[in-house]
Amino acid sequence: MVAAEANGYRASVTIAPGKLDGAPTQPGMDLAARIDLGQGERKTNELYDAIPHRHTNRFPFDVRKPVPSDFLETLSRAASDEPEVKLFLFTADPNRKRVVHIIGQSVDEILHFYPGMFKANAKWFRDWNEAQKTRDGITVDDVGQPPLATALLKFLPRSMDKMMSPLLIKILYVDLMMTGRLHGAIAVRGRYEQSQNVSAGRIWQRAHLLATAYGLAARPVNQAAELVDQEGLHDKEPKAAATLATVTGDAVWQPTFMFYMGYATHQAHPTVRRSVQDVVI
């Protein structure tokens, strides 16, 4: 939608409704959205200009530099046109610590009670040869480690999860999250309503582009929302959803995507991607 306007098209989008009921037994293609294009006036904007420079940054952020007030004001309006989606932003230290604590506890629970989730995630961790074949996933260069650690891990990429205990993983992750001076949650009214989740995803894309335009870095941290799914998948008491309700202050708003932002200490690397010709139908 951003690129259409910048290239002289008038774009309108229709998002398809539906329920997200888990992975289908026979995966196929389902309509998520339809974009209609017509001739329009060419209008460039800062979000379009930021597209080539936007990358997830997994390095620590600069704790000494708060995010600018004008950026906060602009970002706070990112969901103003979406009645079923709401954006929550936290910059005060007590609120940031509370959100980070909730995510840290979620990481701890997933590590101890749902190890299958981490094993599934590990399949997306690629060494150089695999990355050239699959053109997806992340490599050692993308995980935000110092240069020496990155060099060492390139020799032992498959041993990364064995080198750190669950407690150490949690501690390192919590420390990383606390370097973000802004934490946020994108919440929907219906956690498994397809159209609301697509809208939430669009808000994140624009929020990340806006951060990039302002010279800020950003990283998703979705373990607390993912724990809700794990509890449902394993027929557990829905404690995670109740905990997340303390983030929004209203159980009506259900966080489906969480993130933090700040000023980068290191430039993020572009991750491996397939070519446009490989993914266009």
Total count of domains within the chain: 1
| Alpha carbon distances (Å) from 211 to 49, 72, 207, 263 | 12, 10, 6, 10
pLDDT in tens, 236-248: 999 999 999 999 9
Collapsing DSSP states into helix, strand and coil, what is residue 41?
coil
Task: Flag whether 245 is in a domain.
Answer: yes
Higher pLDDT, 98 or 145: 98
Sign of the alpha-carbon dihedral angle for 14, 18, 24, 28: negative
Query: Would the pLDDT of 115 be above 90?
Result: no
Task: Flag whether 8 is in a domain.
Answer: no
Closest CA to 247 of 235, 237, 259: 259
Residue 163: predicted pLDDT: 47
Task: Flag whether 236 is in a domain.
Answer: yes
pLDDT in tens, 217-237: 999 999 999 999 999 999 999
Task: Flag whether 101 is in a domain.
Answer: yes
Query: Would the pLDDT of 195 be above 50?
Result: yes
Pairing type for strands 182-188 and 254-262 reads antiparallel
Query: Would the pLDDT of 190 be above 80?
Result: yes
Higher pLDDT, 208 or 117: 208
Residue 165: predicted pLDDT: 56
Task: Flag whether 40 is in a domain.
Answer: no
| This prediction's pTM | 0.91
pLDDT in tens, 25-48: 777 788 899 999 999 999 989 999
Residue 63 is part of a domain; what is its CATH number?
3.40.109.10
Are the CB atoms for 45 and 6 separated by under 8 Å?
A: yes
The burial class, CB within 10 Å (0-12 / 13-18 / 19+), for 1 is: middle
pLDDT in tens, 45-98: 999 999 999 999 999 999 999 999 999 999 999 999 999 999 999 999 999 999
Residues 224 and 105: their CA atoms lie apart, in Å, by 8
pLDDT band at residue 158 using 50, 70 and 90 as cut-offs: low
Structural domain range at position 154? 55-279
pLDDT band at residue 184 using 50, 70 and 90 as cut-offs: very high
pLDDT band at residue 167 using 50, 70 and 90 as cut-offs: low
Task: Flag whether 241 is in a domain.
Answer: yes
Sign of the alpha-carbon dihedral angle for 62, 63, 65, 71: positive
Task: Flag whether 5 is in a domain.
Answer: no
Residue 168: predicted pLDDT: 58
Closest CA to 224 of 125, 119, 67, 105: 105
